[in-house]
């Protein structure tokens, strides 16, 4: 699935991912390919991205997650 993790200054990640796990305000949320559409707020914590090359982690203060049928966009600070 196509994943973008963006800050106001620069992209942190743009590319294909197998899964992404985020710190949702109501608990950790994991999204895989074909996840139902969703928009939710994020709290301070780590975003974990699984790719073909391995696992990447990004520490964030807060943000917004948008899941569409063919892509996931995450705006963070």
- Tell me which residue of 24, 4, 21, 23 sits closest to 13, measured CA to CA: 4
> Tokens standing for 63?
């943000």
Alpha-carbon 28 to chain mean position: 11
Please, what is the average pLDDT of the chain? 97
> Tokens standing for 74?
């995450």
Condensed to tens digits (0 to 9), the pLDDT of residues 23-45 reads 999 999 999 999 999 999 999 99
Quickly name the fold that domain 2-76 has: ATP Synthase; domain 1 (2.60.15)
Residue labelled with tokens 């743009």: 14
pLDDT at 70 over 90: no
């Amino acid at each position: 699935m196509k994943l973008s993790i963006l800050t106001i200054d620069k992209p942190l990640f743009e590319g294909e991912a197998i899964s992404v796990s985020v710190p949702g305000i109501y608990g950790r949320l994991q999204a895989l390919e074909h996840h139902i559409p969703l928009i939710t707020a994020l709290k301070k914590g780590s975003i974990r991205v699984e790719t073909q090359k391995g696992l990447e982690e990004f520490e964030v203060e807060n943000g917004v997650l948008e899941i569409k049928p063919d892509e996931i966009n995450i705006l963070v600070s």
